Amino acid sequence: MRILAALALVTAALAAPTAAWAYGSEVSASGCNASGGYVTRPAGTDIVIRQGWSAATKKYDQDFIRSQQTSVSVNGGAPIDLSDDWTTPRAYSPSSWVTWVFYPTAIVLGPGQSMSFHYVTSLKRPVFDGISYAGPGTVIESYCTVTGA
């Protein structure tokens, strides 16, 4: 339960509605799920799916990366394996480290246009984050619809 609280904290802190940067408008998979599965992003920007994992140490994040299997499917398409795409863990605060996975969809939505995705991260074995264990099995699953505004 604590791992979900830590993950929710990271997600909430980074789930700004218009988090547009070099890669486009980011959509946090778990943040979208927490918003009821629907978010809007500025029309005319590339949609980038993002998810993070936070742990107390770099070692715990590295252990998560080795144990996880992550996929995303866009608009009902085949799952795309993102398992090898997690970033090198970085210090996020004095007491936590974070690793990220990004998926640039190459989809640019017009006003009122929508796209959907299904995101899943599963763990092959239990992983400790410094507070509690997560896994094995699915630890993050999100169905999300993104609409251009």
Domains: count for the chain:
1
Residue 140 has pLDDT above 90, yes or no: yes
Confidence (pLDDT) at 23: 57
Sign, Cα dihedral of 80, 89, 23, 37: positive
Confidence (pLDDT) at 22: 55
Q: What mean pLDDT do residues 65-89 have?
A: 98
Residue 21 has pLDDT above 70, yes or no: no
Confidence (pLDDT) at 5: 39
Global pTM value: 0.83
Give the CATH number, domain containing residue 139. 2.60.40.10
Residue 110: both structure tokens together: 């017009």
Q: Which of 19-28, 86-95, 119-128, 129-138 has the lowest mean pLDDT?
A: 19-28
Band (68; pLDDT cuts 50, 70, 90) = very high
Residue pair 76/32 in contact by the 8 Å Cβ criterion: no
Structural domain range at position 40: 2-148
Round the average pLDDT of the chain to a whole number and report it.
89
Dist CA 31 CA 14 (whole Å): 9
Residue 4: both structure tokens together: 């979900």
- pLDDT tens string 28-50: 999 999 999 999 999 999 999 99
Q: What mean pLDDT do residues 109-123 have?
A: 98
Dist CA 34 CA 16 (whole Å): 13
DSSP SS3 for 58: helix
Confidence (pLDDT) at 24: 84
